[in-house]
Amino acid sequence: MAYDSVIVHADVLPQIRRLILALLSFGLVALLAELFALGHDEDYRQWIPLAAITTTLVVIVWHAASGSTRSLQVLRFACVGLLFVGATGIILHYQGNVEFQLEVSPELHGWELFRKVLNAKAPPALAPGVMAQLGLLGLIYTFRHPALRSPAG
């Protein structure tokens, strides 16, 4: 049987969408808890991901309660924000690790510096990528969502 001839039942997509939204919500709550547990609130820059996650969770609750087109559009915007904050976080963590590694070992450069920076425990250079992944998951949830269809289409 060819995979392109498989028909997805109409009742399956809404269930998958609900599961994606639940997974997104769980991931955001877990990430928020982890950031608070790690003390990721020492200065204003560290509050940015906390605010982005909290805002997205509030929008998810609004969307789950109303199902409105407006809430879905705002959720999309919040998920793009998660992508942006996650990518910015990777850059900031990486830069912080480079500065620290060069303070400790000024002779480091090239591949050795890169390897040490990526293997650093604090701050973990790629950890903000989780936020970017959750943003992508939210965008997958909104992809071709029925609430976004125009009345004429």
Cα–Cα distance, 40 to 33 (Å, whole number): 10
Strands (E), the chain: none
What tokens does 40 get?
């990721």
Q: What is the pLDDT of residues 25-83, one digit of tens each?
A: 999 999 999 999 999 988 899 999 999 999 999 999 999 999 999 999 999 999 999 99
- Tell whether the model's pLDDT for residue 153 goes beyond 50: no
Query: Of 72, 66, 57, which is closest to residue 27 (Cα–Cα)?
Result: 57
Rg (CA), the chain: 20
Cα–Cα distance, 80 to 93 (Å, whole number): 20
> In angstroms, how far is CA 47 from the centroid of its own chain?
15
Q: What is the pLDDT of residues 89-142, one digit of tens each?
A: 999 999 999 999 999 899 989 999 999 888 888 788 888 999 999 999 999 999
